[in-house]
Amino acid sequence: VQMEKQVVDGLREVFQSRSRPLQYRKQQHRALHRLITERQADIEQALKQDLNRNTYNTSLFEMISIENDIKLAESDMADWAAPRPVKKNLNTALDDVYIKPEPLGVVFQLHTVFHFCCLGNAAVLKPSELSEHSARLMKELLPLYLDKEMYQVVTEGVLETQELLKQRFDHIFYTGSSTVGKLVMEAAARHLTPVTLELGGKSPCYVDKNCDIAVACRRITWGKFANCGQTCIAPDYILCEPSIQDRIVEEIQKTLLEFYQKDPKSSPDYCRIINTRHFDRALALMNECTIALGGESDRSKCYIAPTVLKDVLPHFKIMQEEIFGPLLPMVTVNGLSEAINFINAREKPLALYVFSSDKMVIKRMLTETSSGGVTVNDVLMHYTVDTLPFGGVGNSGMGRYHGRHTFDQLSHHRACLVKSFAMESLNDARYPPLTAARLRKAKFSSYIEKTPTTRWPVTAMMSLPVRL
């Protein structure tokens, strides 16, 4: 416990002296960019060992996104960090009124992408122990490029992580399961530490009979079986009408043959389950199901073939938890309304996908459901848009990130009012002895003129909080 406390206290001390200047943050971003450029081969090798992921998939799913995020932050950081003026009222017309984004302090990042750390906060970085080669490489490389007094990587197990969670952080950022997310939030509550939780869940994919089914299945197949189904926003299951179920199976079969040839196990583009524990968990989910495609497995290689399961019923085990593997159940529904009811009867997902050529279907799905994000007529791709916030809602998480949203999430937005000593007569309205005339004056001076017909009351000055 003492060691964990020393780590956090040491980071807090360094944060006070080093993190705030904008130039320092930019230097750290440039160093991080050098890391992923100069050591790309090492990163690719680590992911090959952890997931059997090839070079091209690593570039597509990791390096391009991280590099774009770093470049965006470096180019726009000055704008993000600049004071943000706000509208004034008559009382503050001659004053400076603005929002000042500030780094929070010491952040604990659990299983999240490491480039978030270079936004001005000190950070304890804890990669997932399941990806042991990637975690070991991260611990080795980051001190060679980044300020090792500001960013510390820990690769210990569950017990050490629990001890770290007992320390006081200024923010905790966690990516993983809802079960662990609740434990993280419970630990954070002891210090009133804010959290960002990106938790996944069962992301539904509704395929309307009025759509280009061939194109829909091509995109679903890519999104579901990329990284062997181990992405937090992979389509978890398909909802469709019974009349098109067999057609969907047929089109997915064609696409699998195109993507991975006759034997996905031999394909350089097909990954593996992260370890045998998760292999056993995923395989057990198929017990009650009818296999339409795939189903082959090899425990010694943590290999499960791309698998489609048909006529899956809502009470089956596979429908009770996030799959996080290459299994795609199909649940039949009688039309759009039943699909919406099915989705709404369950926890809010991190992502929702709908394929349809009917604008009314799309509108109803967007209006009558809730999810962290949504992509229409594709899967995963909303994640690639830097200007869109990425995050969950309800059981799929809280908070958001991506581009400026990441900066805002990991910043404190400080309300600033810098007043002049002039125009003291305006303050008579708030000083005793209070009269009806002074009250009228206070009311007049506390409004902001937004439009000729609309007024916004600003209550911050005239309605001071009173603690009883």
What six digits make up the tokens of 29? 């971003």
Which of 29-55 are b and which e, b meaning 16 or more Cβ less than 10 Å from the residue's Cβ?
Answer: bebbbebbeebbeebbbbbbebbbbbb
What six digits make up the tokens of 22? 């904008």
What six digits make up the tokens of 253? 């079969």
Is there a contact between 150 and 56 (Cβ–Cβ < 8 Å)? no
Which of 423-436 are b and which e, b meaning 16 or more Cβ less than 10 Å from the residue's Cβ?
Answer: eeebeebbeeeeee
CA distance 94 to 419: 8
What six digits make up the tokens of 336? 């759009």
Cis peptide before 235 (omega within 30 of 0): no
The tokens 């009250």 sit on which residue?
439
* Residue 206: closest CA among 196, 216, 215, 214: 216
Coil, helix or strand at residue 102: strand
Helix axes 336-344, 359-368, angle to 10 degrees: 20
CA distance 421 to 200: 53
What six digits make up the tokens of 44? 């690719």
Alpha carbon dihedral 17, 104, 199, 109, in 10-degree steps, equals 10
CA distance 432 to 225: 71
Coil, helix or strand at residue 144: helix
The residues assigned a catalytic role are: 198, 232
Q: Tell me, what DSSP letter sits at residue 289?
A: P
